[in-house]
């Protein structure tokens, strides 16, 4: 699978490290250019590990290739447009996240909505609202999640991305 190939290529001794003191199950550190993993974190068991590692690898690739930074005006504009589109259909998405476990438990989709709506709308996974105040972080999260959905073939997320045209345009630009 695409996921397995990607993880075999990037989750190596050179690119990752175990840190039992990490305050979350895993994250990419741009400063250290490594994926840091805490397999003993109390929430680690709730993570879809291949999907989460794919997400962190996407941050690593983004950082190394400046994908978000080199497309930041475009991404900023499309995220603003996506927010308008989501707000115009808020009831629909709220209903999906509240009444459908496939949406509620979808980490990638939840993260995209959390970022775009500043935590107004998301499933069971989100980040602290302070994180979304830093626009570059927001854009990088959306980029990492769109690419993660593509690589892991996350059908539900890909359907929603296709439905929300600004997100589809970001995906098309990223996959060029």
pLDDT digits (tens, 9 = 90+) for 25-84: 999 999 999 999 999 999 999 899 999 999 999 999 999 999 999 999 999 999 999 999
In this model, does residue 129 exceed pLDDT 90? no
pLDDT digits (tens, 9 = 90+) for 73-126: 999 999 999 999 999 999 999 999 999 889 999 999 999 999 999 989 988 887
β-strand 16-18 against 26-29: which pairing, if any? unpaired
What is the distance between the alpha carbons of residues 172 and 93, in angstroms, rounded to a whole number?
A: 23
pLDDT recorded at residue 130: 76
Q: Does 105 or 135 have the greater pLDDT score?
A: 105
pTM of the full structure: 0.93
């Amino acid at each position: 699978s695409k996921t397995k190939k990607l993880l075999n290529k990037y989750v190596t001794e050179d690119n990752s490290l175990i840190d039992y003191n990490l305050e979350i199950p895993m994250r990419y550190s741009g400063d250290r250019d490594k994926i840091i993993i805490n397999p003993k974190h109390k929430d680690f068991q709730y993570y879809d590990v291949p999907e989460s590692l794919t997400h962190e690898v996407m941050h690593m690739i983004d950082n190394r290739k400046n994908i978000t930074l080199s497309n930041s005006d475009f991404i900023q504009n499309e995220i603003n447009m996506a927010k308008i589109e989501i707000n115009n259909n808020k009831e629909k998405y709220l209903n999906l996240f509240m009444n459908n476990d496939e949406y509620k438990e979808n980490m990638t989709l939840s993260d995209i909505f959390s970022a775009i709506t500043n935590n107004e709308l998301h499933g069971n996974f989100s980040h602290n609202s302070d994180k979304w105040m830093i626009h570059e972080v927001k854009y990088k999260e959306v980029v990492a999640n769109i690419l993660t959905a593509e690589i892991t073939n996350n059908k539900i997320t890909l359907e929603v991305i296709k439905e929300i045209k600004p997100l589809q345009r970001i995906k098309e630009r990223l996959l060029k």
